[in-house]
Chain A
Amino acid sequence: MEKAHVYLKQTKAGRWIPAGFYLVNWGLWILTAVTAGAWHLLYLAVLPVPALAIYLLRTRRNRP
């Protein structure tokens, strides 16, 4: 299929896998902060959240 990459982006996996990558990346650094005892830095974990929230909102209507 010529535009298979567009079709695959619209599937459930195409939507959730990128969100999962970002979430895992973010979560591992929260874990790093916790295990390092860097509690005073944990509030910075809110900074990457808006990008994920906007992504989930913007891709709501993706349907093949």
Chain B
Amino acid sequence: MAATDATVTPGLVLPPLTEEDLARSHDRSRVHDARVGRKRWRLLWLLVGPGILAMLGENDGPSMIAYASDGAQYGLGFFVPFIPVLFAMAFVCQEMCMRIGAVTHRGYGELVLQRYGRVWGWFGAGDLTLTNFVTLIAEFVAIRVGLAYFHLGSGVAVALGLALVAFTLSGGRYWRWERIVLGMALFNGLFLVAAILVKPDVGSVVGALDFTPFPGGSFNTLLLLLASTIGATVTPWMIFFQQSASADKGMTPSDISHGRYDTAAGAVLAAIFGVGALIAGAALLTHGGSGIQGFAGAGFPEALKHISGSAVGTVFALGLIEAGAVAILTISASTAYAAGECIGVSHSFNSSLRNSLVFHAANVGIALLAAVVILIPGAPLLSIALNANVLATVLLPVSLVFMLMLANDRGLMGPWANRRATNAVGITVIAFVGLCGAAYGIDSFLLSTHLIG
């Protein structure tokens, strides 16, 4: 890290400053000015970011297709209330990540590695890299599905995704990266527009809030639905991303309340837009929607165009492009943070390419690798995409357990450690996610080995 000269007069201890410190202190001085000037909205504007990005980043291509697929196959019942419940669970987890990042000023990867040992640290990073890689492939596929509606191919999807990663990195500032991605993420609202355009029956949407009718089908299908929907809402990359981004943004314990607003706003927006995708997909329920699953061709936008008009198809296709693009940026960033933290080198958007080569290389590299896979003719993209969320769900409990341990670590967190009520909710969330993931993994294994019928 390039440190400036630390001119220190006798008796004064002034630490050497890096470019990262200077960039972060610029951002903090604006926060300080807004706080001192009691400019509440300005302060909120300056402090929002990581929470909204984590939540809307998770409303990614595979997730929105999963929600639309749920709607097309099962209708609104059960899922309309289930999606908000899952985002409430995500809020509990993400709030802890934000708090740990703001209090410790360190990312999740480095804290697990230093606090609980190298095995767990590298296990977490390996788990993250694997699930991120698979998910990024699915994001490029989602962009390709959206672009196919406009008669554009895989090459354009790859070029668009990689160009965005390179463009957002180019400024060398966390603030710039965050604002660009935040601006893009708000277009996740296109799924709400699609839902409005299909003119749903408001009565049936409200009526679905009682969790009925429960989706039918086999036990394994139900477990797959639960595991993939959970995997579409709470994932390991969100944990790595929000904690590291909160630290990189320079948040401090005095910003925790604003961090909570940020995370809550992200959860509410993501739940609304997710339900929007579900409602748009449900328009296909009585028009052969159950036959349109996953990423088969440009299924959803084309089908919506035929049933509800070209405007709906266009909006849904644009939404998929946006969802995939934003997720590529946030998921690549979480991989880069984890790589830098575990290797022990500079890991900040506030650091230049020269001073944080590993961070920037990991950011671009994982996106590039995923892009290469979707260009391979005959690659099993459908299977990869459908299994991405399930794999994330199976590996999630490890990340959640360490997150809970860190949030309870009074040596690190002091007075900002978890309270009993937060722990009770957190343990319930981990148990639920762990059971769903494990039950699906075990049941599918037994079915595929014909040990059960």
Question: Is chain B found bound to chain A in the same assembly?
Answer: no
